[in-house]
Chain A
Amino acid sequence: MSTGSAVSTGSAALPAPVHVVGAAMIPMGRHRRSSYAGLAVGPVLDALAAAGLGRERVRAAFVGHSFGGMLTGQRVLKEIGLGGLPVVNVDNACSGGASAVHLAARAVAAGEYDVVLVVGVEKLTQFGGGTLPLVTEDPEVRRGMVMPALYAMRARRYLHERGTIDDLAAVSVKARRHGARNPYAQLRSEVTAEQVLASRPIADPLTLFMCCPTGDGAAAVVLVSDRARAELDGPAVRILASVLHSGEMDLGARDMLHPEITFASARDAYEAAGMGPDELDVVELHDAFSIAELIYYEALGLCPVGEAGKLLRSGETTFGGRVVVNPSGGLLAKGHPVGASGTAQVAEAFWQLTGTAGDRQVEGARTALTHVTGGGIAGLDHGACTVHVLRAG
């Protein structure tokens, strides 16, 4: 039950076509010798080069991050002499990088700008490891809440109501198998279910290998209008839907296996895209912890509620299956530098849909969905959720 007054944001459809025409990122990992600018400058230049656009064509930039401090975007862009244009810094926790894509897509579709740069960047090694620092104004954070604990309680309910610990391990095994093919991934070794279960406990029942690693990362994508697209020679991917939702306050008995914010965001995204989950070839979803992938299979409509374990075991969500979920290795293997992840997912979708994903290419992929949430806030399932649906141009 939701006790708040959820408002419709109107149609999630974009009023005019928006195209992704370039993407780049650094391998996620521990980059202690790089600043925020140092992490992001390479992807910015490479994404523009991939698009065949000079920096002078960029009309605005949206920069997602959560822990970069003031003016992170300007600190990145001044390094390559980009100034004067509007630069907006976007924090939405783990959804920051996707929220930046959302704002950029809406701005291009509204006709405000014809070429927009999106950056997602984060440096988590500045904290020296451990759990993500949450906001101590929050009553649950003051009581000891950390992100692994929240997902661990979801996992406990999953074990109580539906599945087994083997399902939680199998998600990690799949993620690491995919990540081993991805040169952008932080963790590139495969693991067995036994290794996942034997890795050290983080928050029972979650073990280390069921949790995304701590690391640094940066990704950039370039979005353009139809008119700018017509001038370019390279491949393009169309953004069919760009949805951003906030969580709804509920202080009562919430079903932790039914994340309403993702159900609602997915519903709006499919409506705007004019397609359903059965038409997706690739999904990059928010598997910050292995339990999340199972819950989001259901919330994104990839299977009926209660059948996530069955879908995973069927093999339909790995290479060769009906819809490949997290071909990049996902947050569990590719890594999860909070504000960078949402942009990185859109970059992965661009590569998959332009046939440039190398060893992790999903054969013949024509459609993709990306999904990130942003949590760590009492009373809400998550604070933010961003979903994009993309189609090969």
Chain B
Amino acid sequence: MRVADLSLPLSLAALVAVPFVFGDFTAYQIGLFLLYGSVAQGVALCWGRVGILPLGQALFFGLGAYLGGGALIRFEHSSILLYPALLGAVLAPATVAGAIGILVFRRNVGSGPYFSLITLALSMLAYQVALGADWLTGGYMGLNGIPPLPGTDPWSTLYWVILGALVLSTGVLLWITRSPLGQLLHAVSQNEDRLSFLGFDIARLKALAFAVSAALAGMAGALYAAQQGIVTPQVLAYVLSGELLIWTAVGGRASLIGPAAGAVLIGMLTSNLRDRFQYWEILLALLFLAIVLFAPTGLAGLIAPLLKRLPKRVHAMRDVERPLPDRGDMPMLSFEEVRVTIGSVRILQGLTLELKKRGLHCLIGPNGAGKTSAFNALMGRLSVSGGRITWGGRDITGLPAHKVARLGIARKLQVPAIFHDMTVGVHLDIALWSGGISARELLSQRSFRYRNEILGVLKEMFPFLNDEEKRAGDLSLGHRQVLEFALSVIARPEVVLLDEPCAGLSTQETANLTAAIRKIAGRFDISALIIEHDFSVVEELSDHIFVLHQGQTLSEGTLEAIRADHKVQAVYTGGTK
């Protein structure tokens, strides 16, 4: 997300000028849309940054409005209780959102539409509750006669409070998006699998972003109650949720103030057109369609190319050494009679293999033997129907990917999984953090200055890694393979699973990467389990080989032993299949 350095203070100046130039009533109207705008900023955080689309954000806005309105009514004359209660109007929606996020994302529904539909359905449910629970929400007539925020007048001075809230929300979002946490959130939208293989809990990251967006919505809702003096069930309705989407899309879902600008722009236009022009809804719908089709990054995205003339943000100097984790004996990785069945296809039929010693182990076998499936089962990506997988004696069958990664088992995928829109430098950062990072470090700019020994060696062997500003999606396939390999080893895992690391590489690139694997694994005591078809690579990288066939271990041993094994020969020369 490009942060438009000047657009922020400029927008602030324009908004400050509004009451003086256009009068209090216009300021009041714009104030309302600024409130909606901060909700839209939260929507953009989820949608543009993390890649989850909340279709029912009005739920949190409405919750904040009812709680805020209730607090203002209840504690009108008691500031000691009022302000904590108003804070509650911000924290309650955040808590609810966090809970929803954890519950939904833990079930691994991925980035499908289900999260979106659940949020929509929940907001519709809340609307019905608000409509029906007269005793709680005032029902259809709503919460009436809400007194203004003490010391403010909704028609004039409250505007400054609203502006302050917008500055706060923008500031918080700015801080988050620039922090290591912000990079992780962005990486979620780029490639969830890659991030979870680095040990990061995707569900928690998504839930966190969702909770932040809900906090912003709650704050806006509470101020809405103070401004309007009345809260009716429509604050929870899907119509508002829909409008939020329009404002976010038009303003720019990947932008910080874009959504707020979208809300003000569309809101003011609507407000003024709806009485003069009968078909303003058609105009709005056409504009919305045009944006979705032709300018998915919204108006902010249209303005952004003008920013290319600004100097690019240079990655911070890496001057903070991160020590490597200690190395003891390798815990034993063991597959015990593992069965994996999908539908009626038996992929693994009692796979048994043990990784006891440090070193380079190869996993070979004909196509369909179950090699990648073994990796997937280990990382919790495929459900195991029989047998178990243990690590250092501990049963890890079915453990989710990020937890397996945290145990020290890294993985590199066959088709290089990287974060396309992010720079090489950020990739290396994320890899450095994957060994373990505290909450404080997540929010500190210092975390961008890390380096470690392994990174140093990798940069020596592969100079392209020094070009940290390069967008990873622009790298050649060979460089991407290397980058992903780097990601998987930087934090010194116990064992790294490499799935055809040299796939698609030229002879020279293959030789380079093979040498790198050997060198890094040897020097830093990292074991490797490598799936390979290319026998020249196998020759280079095999202290020990497992041969898989039809979901079971056919044979194992050194390369010579394997070569001499009749069973293996039969399988490879097309004998029994």
Same complex origin of A and B:
no
Residues of B at the A interface (CB closer than 8 Å) are none
Residues of A at the B interface (CB closer than 8 Å) are none
